[in-house]
Structure 1
Amino acid sequence: MVCEKCEKKLTKVIVPDKWKEGASNTTEGGGRKINENKLLSKKNRWTPYGNTKCIICKQQVHQDAKYCHTCAYSKGVCAMCGKQVLDTKFYKQSNV
């Protein structure tokens, strides 16, 4: 669960856009090289299970977030920035 501000960060995709008009990741705009090896060309590759860990339970997080999905929902906060999103005062949640 993320807030409206952090939803914009989740729109990044790995595959190129289908349509060339207005696409930010096509070869025509000078953004990408043709036949480049992605393993060699990119120094800081994105790793899905990187060094990011949840603040509460120390579980690995798959995105640039502070909290894992379980802890974020149980606390009612945004997983990426920690902003209060839900009021979980009257929720019946177990501590399991």
Structure 2
Amino acid sequence: MVCDNCQKKVGRVATQDVWKSGSRNTVESGGKKLNENKLLTNKNSRYSPYTTKFNKCKICKSTIHQPGSTYCQGCAYKLGLCAMCGVKILQTKNYRQSSV
């Protein structure tokens, strides 16, 4: 779960979205270039498991594989928080959630 402010910070995929009318990276919307070499153009933002320092979740101390996040997906969902900034998104008082 990510809030609306952190939505633009979320990583993007190099492939096109299947749903064309709402996708972010199609040719029609201007987000994808034709005949572009992704290896050369996005050298700085390219994912590398050896150079990327993974953060730990503040609650359960598990490894987070999304850069810039402070909470893992499980803890963010259970508490109703944004995984990146920690803002309360959802009121979970009346929900029946498992403790796993």
Q: Which has the larger radius of gyration?
A: 1
Q: Shorter-chain TM-score: which interval?
A: 0.5 to 0.7
Aligned-partner SS, 2:75: helix
- State how 1:1-96 maps to structure 2 within 5 Å: 1-10=1-10, 12-14=12-14, 19=27, 46-47=47-48, 50-64=53-67, 65-96=69-100
After superposition, the Cα gap between the structure-2 partners of 1:8 and 1:52, relative to the gap in structure 1 and judged at 3 Å, is same
Instruction: Point out where structure 1 has 5 or more consecutive residues left out of the alignment.
Output: none
TM normalised by structure 1 equals 0.64
RMSD: 3.4
Aligned length: 88
CA offset at residue 91 of structure 1?
1.0
The sequence identity of aligned pairs, in percent, is 44
Q: Distance in 2 between matches of 1:26 and 1:50?
A: 32
In terms of fraction of residues, the more helix-rich structure is 1
Instruction: Point out where structure 2 has 5 or more consecutive residues left out of the alignment.
Output: 16-24
